[in-house]
């Protein structure tokens, strides 16, 4: 049996009562303190993490169930108990907290807990204890229950669909928890969001572009590995695109699971399992990255499997009139890194910067999509032209290990008069040129202005000298 906690499940909440019960105000240092969550007249389907308490450490949880029949009316309850152990003596505060239980949010006011000196355990007469024991306690589960650890058949696995890639070539990485069909140990995810955040800090390579599949719901999927059937729970999946030839190293990461111990002698009314924890570790993995073959554009080309889908308003054009053209690249690869095609410029056409639109799909372990470049162009010279001479896009196909080029397949016919000499007339000369006809075009000698500057400087020196003379004479 394998239990998985899901967020957002719709459960019926009618007829159930939920309560949170806190332990006593005072305990001895060698005594335990508990928080009990009880659901009455319904099953305990899900619950949040119990709060942390300063001065205490969590020992683990246990579950209890009870059924009562009073005057023919049947009532039942299920409880989960978190046990805390004091780490030192003193007065500690459990602040107010909230817990989500069976999709209901419950609040607790918290309390102060006084931890005193340890208490001496009282010795009991074994003979007297034997006769004081109620045989019905065993039937109703009130006696001491012994729990055993059942060996699990499960593992945390990090897998990739490729072991060797080119620079820029994508490979898909999956982190999943695998449970064999013959597994007998009950387990459950817990605190998965925080754990996954810490795991991804270690897993995500800094030398790669990442396309995350954003797994929101963890759902089991049956798979076969080496003639053995497992249920796979995908925790994280992404496609990475190396940016250089540095090897991609995925370290070993750990995922802590709740693993229940089961009662050695289970009873109908008593507690039949006890919560414990176990951490599962993945194996490290390294992906080798190869350099692209020699090519003048190998530092800038995209890597993947791509095709061209182009659209043209009309193959018959007129000089001076704009036309629309779309160069749409689609296929499997790093769509975000696709650069605009190389456009040849000459006196036959004017091409404007394109509008860009992209669409990316991440599903079934693949990243695919399209990136469209929409151009406006104005023909300037009549004639017949192949747009393949103007639009081209080079990429490297890792499946064929070759470079390939996408070119336009359209041929267009341009009619009308030449527009080469009209472009300069269509431009505004600006206010500077507008004032040329009003400006004086008489040639003036620059020597006269130089004599004026010399005369002004001599006059200033004379005035300074006169001022100095009068000051010293006084």
pLDDT band at 436 (very low <50, low <70, confident <90, very high): low
Contact predicate 361/369, CB 8 Å: yes
pLDDT band at 43 (very low <50, low <70, confident <90, very high): confident
Q: Exposed, middle or buried: residue 4 (CB in 10 Å: 0-12, 13-18, 19+)?
A: middle
* Whole-number pLDDT of residue 126: 45
Q: Looking at 125-129, 357-361, 443-447, which range is the least confident one?
A: 125-129
Average pLDDT, the chain: 83
* Whole-number pLDDT of residue 146: 78
Contact predicate 150/183, CB 8 Å: no
* Whole-number pLDDT of residue 7: 32
* Whole-number pLDDT of residue 217: 81
Question: What are the structure tokens assigned to 223, written together?
Answer: 């798979």
pLDDT at 59 over 50: yes
* Whole-number pLDDT of residue 448: 52
pLDDT band at 434 (very low <50, low <70, confident <90, very high): low
Q: What is the mean pLDDT of residues 199-208?
A: 94
* Whole-number pLDDT of residue 75: 67
Q: What is the mean pLDDT of residues 310-314?
A: 93
Q: What is the mean pLDDT of residues 254-276?
A: 78
Upper half-sphere CA count for residue 388 (Cβ side, 13 Å): 9
Q: What is the mean pLDDT of residues 45-65?
A: 81
* Whole-number pLDDT of residue 141: 47
Q: What is the pLDDT of residues 384-420, one digit of tens each?
A: 999 999 999 999 999 999 999 999 999 999 999 988 7
Angstrom distance (rounded) from CA 102 to CA 42:
10
pLDDT at 446 over 80: no
430: left (phi over 0), alpha (psi -120 to 50) or beta: left
H or E element in which residue 201 lies:
helix 192-203
Q: Looking at 87-96, 214-223, 298-307, which range is the least confident one?
A: 214-223
The predicted model scores a pTM of 0.61
pLDDT at 345 over 50: yes
pLDDT at 108 over 80: yes
Q: What is the pLDDT of residues 125-164, one digit of tens each?
A: 444 433 344 444 444 444 566 778 888 999 999 999 999 9
**Percent residues over pLDDT 90 in the chain:** 49
Angstrom distance (rounded) from CA 302 to CA 334:
8
């Amino acid at each position: 049996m394998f239990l998985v906690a899901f967020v957002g499940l719709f459960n019926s909440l009618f007829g159930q009562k939920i309560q949170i019960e806190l332990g006593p105000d005072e305990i001895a240092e060698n005594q335990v303190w508990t928080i009990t969550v009880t659901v009455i007249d319904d099953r305990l389907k899900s619950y949040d993490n119990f709060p942390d308490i300063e001065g205490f450490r969590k020992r683990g949880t246990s579950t209890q169930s009870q059924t009562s029949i009073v005057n023919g009316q049947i009532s039942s309850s299920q409880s989960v108990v978190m046990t805390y152990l004091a780490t030192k003596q003193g007065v500690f505060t459990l602040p107010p907290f909230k817990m989500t239980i069976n999709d209901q949010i419950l609040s607790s006011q918290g309390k102060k807990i006084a931890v005193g000196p340890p208490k001496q355990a009282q010795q009991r007469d074994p003979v007297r204890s034997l006769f004081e024991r109620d045989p019905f306690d065993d039937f109703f589960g009130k006696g001491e229950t012994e729990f055993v650890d059942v060996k699990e058949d499960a593992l945390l696995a990090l897998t990739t669909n490729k072991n060797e890639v080119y620079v820029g070539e994508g490979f898909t990485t999956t982190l999943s928890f695998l449970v064999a069909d013959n597994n007998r140990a009950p387990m459950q995810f817990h605190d998965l969001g925080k754990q996954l955040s810490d795991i991804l800090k270690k897993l995500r390579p800094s030398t790669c572009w990442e396309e995350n599949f954003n797994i929101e719901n963890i759902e089991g999927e049956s798979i076969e590995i080496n003639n053995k059937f497992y249920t796979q729970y995908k925790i994280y999946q992404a496609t990475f695109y190396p940016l250089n030839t540095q090897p991609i190293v995925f370290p070993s990461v750990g995922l802590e699971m709740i693993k229940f111990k089961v009662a050695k002698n289970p009873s109908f009314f008593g507690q039949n399992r006890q919560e414990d924890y176990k951490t599962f570790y993945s194996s490290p993995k390294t992906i080798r990255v190869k350099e692209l073959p020699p090519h003048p554009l190998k530092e800038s080309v995209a890597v993947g499997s791509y095709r061209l889908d182009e659209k043209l308003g009309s193959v018959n054009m007129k000089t001076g009139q704009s036309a629309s053209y779309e160069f749409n690249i689609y296929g499997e690869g790093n769509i975000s890194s696709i650069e605009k095609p190389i456009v040849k410029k000459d006196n036959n056409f004017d091409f404007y910067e394109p509008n860009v639109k992209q669409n990316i799909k991440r599903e079934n372990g693949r990243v695919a999509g399209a990136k469209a470049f929409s151009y406006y162009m104005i023909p300037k010279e009549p004639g017949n032209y192949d747009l393949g001479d103007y639009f081209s896009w080079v990429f490297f196909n890792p499946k064929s290990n070759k470079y390939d080029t996408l070119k336009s397949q359209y041929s267009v016919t341009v009619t009308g008069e030449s527009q080469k000499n009209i472009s300069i007339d269509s431009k505004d000369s600006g206010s500077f040129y507008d004032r040329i006809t009003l400006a004086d075009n008489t040639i003036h000698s620059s020597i006269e202005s130089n004599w004026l500057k010399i005369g002004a400087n001599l006059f200033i020196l004379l005035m300074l000298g006169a001022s100095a003379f009068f000051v010293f004479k006084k």
